[in-house]
Structure 1
Amino acid sequence: MPSQTTTFAEPPTLDVRKTLARADGARRAGDITGAARDYGAVLARFPGNPRARKALAAIGPSAASALADMAKSCEAAHQLDEAVQHWADAVALCPGHIALCLSLCRCLSDMGRNHAALDAVNEALRHNPDSALALDTKGCVLRDLGQMDAAQACHREALKHGGNTAGPLNHLGVLARATGDTDKAADFFRQAITASPGTASLHHNLAGCTTYRAGDAHIRQMQDQLADHSSSDPRQAPLHFALFKAMDETDDRDGAFAHLLRGNHLRKASSNFDIAREAYRFAWYKSLFAEPPAPMQITNECEPRPVYVVGLPRSGTTLAERILGQTPGAQTAGELSVVSNAVSPLLRRLQTEGRSAPTRQDLQTLRDRLLSGIKRHSDGSPILIDKMPLNFRWAGLICAAMPEARVVSLSRAPMPVAWSLFRHLFSSHGNGFAYDMADIAAYMLLHRDMMRFWSTRFASQIVSLDYAALVSETEDTLRELIDACDLEWSEACLNPQAAGGPVLTASATQVRRKIYCGSDDDWRRYEAHLSPLAAALNTAGLT
Structure 2
Amino acid sequence: MSQEQAEAALLREIAALANAGRLAAARDRAEEALAARDAMPVRELAAMLALRLGDRAGAVAHLDRLHAARPDDRAIRLNLAQALTGTEDVSRIAPLLAPLPSEPRVDRIAAYAALRGGEHAAALALYARVLEAWPEDAESWANRAQAELALGDGDAAISSLETAITHRRDAVPFYLALIAVLERLDRQEARRTVARDAAAIAPDNVDVQLALGLAEAANGDDSAAEAALRRAVTLDRSRPEAMLELGLLLESRNRLDTLAELIVHVRPYAGGELALLEGWLAFRRGELDRAAVHAGAIPPTIGAHRRAHLRALIADRQGDAAKAFTLFEEMNAGALAVSGPAPARRYRDGVAASTEALRAAPVAAVAAGQHSSPVFIAGFPRSGTTLLDTLLGRLPNAHVLEEQPLVPALERAVGDPGRIAGLDGAALTALRAQYRTMAAEIVPQADRRLLIDKHPLHMARMPLIARLFPGAPVLLVERHPYDVVLSCFMANFRLNGAMRSFTDLTEAALTYDTVFTAWREAETRLGLNAHRIRYERLVADPEPELRAALAFIGADYSPELLDTAAAARERGPVKTASYAQVIEPIHQRAVARWQRYRGQLAPVIPILRPWAEWMGYDG
Structure 1 length-normalised TM: 0.76
Q: 1:280 aligns with which of 352, 363, 366?
A: 352
Q: Does 1:78 align with 2:152?
A: yes
Are 1:531 and 2:531 matched, yes or no? no
Query: Does the CA-based 8 Å contact 1:363-1:401 persist in structure 2?
Result: yes
Instruction: Report whether the alignment pairs 1:407 with 2:474.
Output: yes
Residue equivalent to 2:3: none
The reply to whether residue 380 of structure 1 matches residue 454 of structure 2 is no
Match of 1:232 in 2: none
- Aligned match of 1:8: none
- Corresponding residue for residue 371 of structure 1: 436
Correspondence list, 1:51-450, <5 A: 60=136, 63-162=137-236, 165-182=239-256, 184-185=258-259, 195=270, 209=284, 211-213=287-289, 216-222=292-298, 225=300, 236-264=304-332, 271=342, 274=346, 277-278=349-350, 280-287=352-359, 289-292=361-364, 306-348=374-416, 357-381=422-446, 382-403=449-470, 405-429=472-496, 430-450=498-518
Q: Which runs of 5+ in 1 are unaligned?
A: 1-24, 40-55, 230-234
Query: Contact 1:399 / 1:461 at 8 angstroms: preserved in 2?
Result: no
RMSD: 3.8
3-state secondary structure, aligned to 1:247: helix
Shift of 1:206: 6.6
Secondary structure of 2:288's match? coil
Is the 1:200–1:239 contact (alpha carbons within 8 Å) kept by the matching residues of 2? no
- Equivalence for 1:484: 552
Which secondary structure state, in structure 2, belongs to the residue aligned with residue 520 of structure 1? coil
- Larger Rg belongs to: 2
Q: Deviations over 1:164-209 (max 9, x none)?
A: 6433322322332233223544675895998575799979967864
Contact conserved, 1:337 with 1:388, CA < 8 A, in 2?
no
C-alpha separation between the residues in 1 aligned to 2:577 and 2:239?
Answer: 24
| 1:366 shift after superposition | 2.9
Conserved? CA contact 1:442–1:540, under 8 Å: no
C-alpha displacement at 1:68, in angstroms? 0.9
**1:527 counterpart letter in structure 2:** R
- Distance (whole Å) between structure 2 residues aligned to residue 489 and residue 204 of structure 1: 40
Q: Which amino acid aligns with 1:98?
A: V
Give the 3-state SS of the residue equivalent to 2:451 in structure 1: strand
Give the whole-Å Cα distance in 1 for the aligned partners of 2:216 and 2:539. 34
Displacement of 1:312 in angstroms is: 1.1
State the distance in 2 between where 1:162 and 1:101 align. 20
Deviation at 1:65, TM superposition (A): 1.0
Deviates more, 1:266-275 or 1:421-430: 266-275
Quote how far apart the aligned CAs of 1:412 are. Answer: 0.9
Per-residue CA shift, 1:46-69, capped at 9, x if unaligned?
xxxxxxxxxx8xx74xx2111111
Amino acid at match of 1:439: E
Residue 36 (structure 2) aligns with: none
Identity %: 22
Q: Secondary structure at the match of 2:399?
A: strand
Q: Structure 1 110/308 Cα, relative in aligned 2: closer, same or farther at 3 Å?
A: farther
Rate the CA distance shift 1:238–1:413 in 2: closer, same or farther, 3 A: same
Kindly provide the CA deviation profile for residues 2-45 of structure 1, in whole angstroms up to 9, marking residues without a partner as x.
Answer: xxxxxxxxxxxxxxxxxxxxxxx996896896699779xxxxxx
Unaligned regions of 5+ residues in structure 2, if any?
Answer: 1-101, 109-125, 614-618
Please give the secondary structure, in 1, of the residue aligned with 2:445: coil
Q: What is the deviation of 1:216?
A: 4.2
Asked whether the equivalents of residues 237 and 263 of structure 1 are also in contact (C-alpha less than 8 Å), the reply is: yes
SS in 2 for 1:287: helix
CA separation in 2, counterparts of 1:406 and 1:355?
Answer: 20
**Preserved contact between residue 152 and residue 172 of structure 1 (Cα < 8 Å):** yes
Residue 355 of structure 1: CA displacement? 8.8
Contact in 1 for aligned 2:522/2:528 (Cα 8 Å): no
Q: How many residues align?
A: 484
Cα-to-partner distance string for 1:241-266 (whole Å, 9 max, x where unaligned): 33322334455443333333444456
Paired residues of 2:369 and 2:469 also in contact (CA < 8 A): no
Contact 2:378 2:458 in 1 (8 A): yes
Q: How big is the shift at 1:315?
A: 0.4
1:97-131 Cα deviation digits (max 9, x unpaired): 22212322332233333332232122222222322
- Judged with a 3 Å threshold, the aligned counterparts in structure 2 of structure 1 residues 253 and 77 are, in CA distance, closer, same or farther, namely same
Moved more, 386-395 or 84-93: 386-395
Amino acid at match of 1:277: D
The code of the aligned residue for 1:377 comes to I
Q: What's the CA shift for 1:77?
A: 3.0
Match of 2:22 in 1: none
Counterpart in the other structure of 2:14? none
Q: Which moved more, 1:389-398 or 1:98-107?
A: 98-107
How many Å separate the matches in 2 of 1:443 and 1:188?
40
The separation in 1 between residues aligned to 2:326 and 2:183, in whole angstroms, is 34
Name the CA distance, whole Å, in 1 between partners of 2:291 and 2:399: 45
Shift of 1:327: 0.7
**Cα 1:174/1:151, change in 2 over 3 Å:** same
Cα distance change on mapping 1:121 and 1:346 into 2, 3 Å: same
Q: Deviations over 1:369-423 (max 9, x none)?
A: 3223222222335133333211221122022113374332211112221221222
Change (3 A) 1:336 1:204: farther
Contact kept in structure 2, 1:285 and 1:393, CA below 8 Å: no
Distance in 2, matches of 1:74 and 1:133, equals 24
How far does the alpha carbon of each residue in 1:309-359 deviate from its partner, in whole angstroms, 9 at most, with x for none?
2211110010011011011111233221222222023124x66xx897444
The aligned counterpart of 1:455 is 523
Paired amino acid for 2:465 = I
**How far apart are the structure 1 equivalents of 2:142 and 2:472?**
40
SS of alignment partner, residue 402 of structure 2: coil
The letter of the residue matching 2:177 is: S
Secondary structure of the corresponding residue to residue 333 of structure 1: strand
SS of 2:364 mapped into structure 1: coil
